[in-house]
Amino acid sequence: MIFKDISNLEKLTLEEYAKIFGNKHKTPCIGTLRRSNMMLNPLNLKHLNLLDENITDVVTLNLEDAIAPSRKKEALYNIALFLSHLKNSKSFIVIRTNPFDDGGKEEIEFLNGFGFDAIRLPKVKSPKELESALKILKTDYELHVSLETKEAFADIKALKIDDRVTTANLGILDLLASLNLPQSLVKIANPTMDYILAKFLIDCKTVNIHPVSFMYQDYNNTVEFREWCEYEKSLGFTSKACMGPKQVTIANEVFNIDDTEIRRAKYIKEIFELNSSKGINGFMDNRYGFIDEPIYKNAVLILKNKSL
């Protein structure tokens, strides 16, 4: 916990909040896994107080659509207060602002002085919004995108305007609305959904943007959530948006790389590099059959993903 007791915080005004901002600036979260990305409402002080204990790989503090306009400043100050007293966190911390021209600009400017890992910009329609955000965002921080509009979906690759643009989060319900398509399409193996997921995944991967699949809304239906995770893993995804700890636990399990796969990858890497040093880049192996450079590259990729 960040604070031992938060019972008095709800009684404070925003002006009083600002007077107790701390001077902590957590170290950047480097090398964490990205299996689960849990959305957190910053009006819930108990959840904010556990930023240093979360089991999720990524936590996203949401200032956008879950917060009523009358309470957005309160949510912003809540984030600032807890971040200013946060020493460290195993989770990669992202702040989802409001759209850049609808409060997001001011939120980024305010948050620049606090310790987190990335800003996530919603409702992006063109690279110009990202360019504007990058101009004011401190260079220490990544910029993530909520892909929720037909304009952004039509040209995902155009969003890679800078190395700091690292991650795209698929907002499936908003995207379907933007495309004038019904939410009833959100079913496993639906052809339209398969196309959306595949295009999102491949377009992101083509320009080195990490794709995070959409949030499953029925929080208590853990059976179907697991089915979605397993299906998306079969498509090539390694990350899933989550609503809470139950979903996080499942996503972490499904998208984890098991020990058997790691041992196989280590063996292939070692034996290929040994043979390659002798000028042999393709050979038969008693354990795993024919091993050549593409097999080797896949093993290196597995080990790289495990260490992220």
CATH 3.20.20.60 region(s) of the chain? 9-254
Which 3 state secondary structure label does DSSP give 147?
strand
| Structure confidence at residue 267 (pLDDT) | 85
- On the question of pLDDT at 305 being above 70, the answer is no
Higher-pLDDT residue of 59 and 65 is: 59
- Using pLDDT thresholds of 50, 70 and 90, give the confidence band for residue 307: low
Asked if residues 282 and 259 have their Cβ atoms less than 8 Å apart, the reply is no
CA angle 265, 270, 274 (to 5 degrees): 150
Looking at 3.20.20.60, 1.20.1560.10, 1.10.357.10, 3.40.50.300, the CATH number of the domain 9-254 comes to: 3.20.20.60
| Structure confidence at residue 54 (pLDDT) | 85
pTM: 0.86
| Structure confidence at residue 162 (pLDDT) | 97
Q: What are phi and psi of 168, to 5 degrees?
A: -125, 135
Asked if residues 92 and 32 have their Cβ atoms less than 8 Å apart, the reply is yes
- Using pLDDT thresholds of 50, 70 and 90, give the confidence band for residue 31: low
| Structure confidence at residue 306 (pLDDT) | 65
Asked if residues 211 and 201 have their Cβ atoms less than 8 Å apart, the reply is yes
| Structure confidence at residue 292 (pLDDT) | 87
Q: Which tokens belong to 16?
A: 């009083």
| Structure confidence at residue 272 (pLDDT) | 86
Asked if residues 26 and 2 have their Cβ atoms less than 8 Å apart, the reply is no
| Structure confidence at residue 273 (pLDDT) | 86
| Structure confidence at residue 61 (pLDDT) | 97
pLDDT, tens digit, 9 for 90 and up, residues 97-129: 999 999 999 999 999 999 999 999 999 999 999
pLDDT, tens digit, 9 for 90 and up, residues 254-293: 998 776 777 888 888 888 888 888 899 888 988 889 988 8
